[in-house]
Amino acid sequence: MSQFSDVSVIGLGAMGWGAAISLLRDGFSVYGVDIRQEVLERFSAEKGNPCQSPAEAAKLASVVMVFVVTDKQVEQVLFGQDGAVAAAEPGTLFINSSTIQPSSAVEIGKRLESAGMRVIDAPVSGGAARALRGEVTVMASGSGEAFKIAGPIFDAISAKVFRLGAEVGQGSRIKMINQLLSDVHIAATAEAMTLASNIGVNLETMYEVITQSTGNSWMFEDRGAHIVNGDYAPRSPIDIIVKDLGIVSFEAESAGAAVPLTNAALALFSEARAEGYGREDGCAVAKLLGRKSDTALPGVKDRSQE
């Protein structure tokens, strides 16, 4: 373990929790920050060190990882009241693993560097289960010096690290494209399974055939199984998908790029959120499509009973 063996993780949601536990498992001293007291208590039970603010955590660690949801939350935990940056020692490495607008990642990186900090833009992909196993994919960009420090940390939390150059923001750009594909594939999976049910195809048979055919995708294989089993527990909640596709739509419009599939999927997920499915998994858009098609799906009650 190097001199950079003290790591603070700000945001102990699904991905941040997995990273923090993976770091603890590899022998790091880990300080955790979350607004939920019950999560901090659970973190303490795992031999982690709970902190009440980003500032407190930043004082104790030479590396700060950020796993929050929105651009505003990243700015708040870094630069707001009790923020990490003002409390951190110069030269502290900040690893921003939040999925935010690439343009915001660039601006936040510049502000961190201006404050004398090292920076890596490093969004991750893989879901909560892989995060807990230390097997996420990291899409990272930053200086060679920063990567030397981050190496053991990325080894602890990931199965694959893509080094995408020195320009902060490149990781967030590629993560944005990944979210475009992931979320459009979830929408396509829900549409395909609902149509299959509507025309009288057995969903278990449908799933078995498609997973061995050219129409398969990682998301179909994963979320299709959940639809077959009537399991809509949130892996990627619709609320988060709306946020992520909103990033794609905004950045594409700013760049003058046409993204019709993104916009169609965003409209569908936004409608599902408005109908009360926001905290369910993205594949719960199948419930909305099922209602529109008057089609029964496994495990889905009549709307009046949900």
Band of pLDDT at residue 4, cut at 50, 70 and 90: confident
- Indicate the number of domains in the chain: 2
42 shares its domain with 122: yes
**Strand 124-125 versus strand 136-142 pairing type:** antiparallel
Tell me, what amino acid is at 180? L
Place of tokens 């965003």: 266
Q: Which domain does 256 fall in, by range?
A: 173-305
pLDDT at residue number 3: 63
Q: What is the CATH number of the domain that holds 50?
A: 3.40.50.720
Q: What is the 3-state secondary structure (H, E, C) of 108-169?
A: HHHHHHHCCCEEEECCEECHHHHHHHCCEEEEEEECHHHHHHHHHHHHHHEEEEEECCCCCC
Same domain, 125 and 11: yes
265: nearest Cα among 287, 253, 282, 250: 282
Q: Are residues 13 and 137 in the same domain?
A: yes
Give yes or no: residues 187 and 257 share one domain. Answer: yes
Residue-level pLDDT at 131: 95
Both 34 and 161 in a single domain?
yes
Looking at residue 305, its pLDDT comes to 43
- The contacts of residue 27 (CB under 8 Å, 6+ apart) are 1, 5
131-164: per-residue pLDDT in tens? 999 999 999 999 999 999 999 999 999 999 999 9
Q: What is the pLDDT of residues 104-131, one digit of tens each?
A: 999 999 999 999 999 999 999 998 899 9
- Decide which of 145, 168, 191 is a domain's last residue: 168
- Choosing from 168, 193, 209, the residue where a domain stops is 168
Positions marked active-site:
175
C-alpha distance from residue 36 to each of 13, 17, 50, 187 (Å): 10, 12, 11, 31
Do 230 and 282 belong to one domain?
yes
The answer on pLDDT for 24 being more than 50 is yes
* pLDDT attached to residue 220: 98
Calculate mean pLDDT across residues 179-195: 98
Confidence (pLDDT) at 85: 98
Question: Of 168, 200, 215, which one is at a domain's C-terminal end?
Answer: 168
* Overall pTM > 0.85: yes
Question: Do 63 and 20 form a contact (C-beta atoms < 8 A)?
Answer: no
pLDDT at 302 over 70: no
1 is a domain residue: no
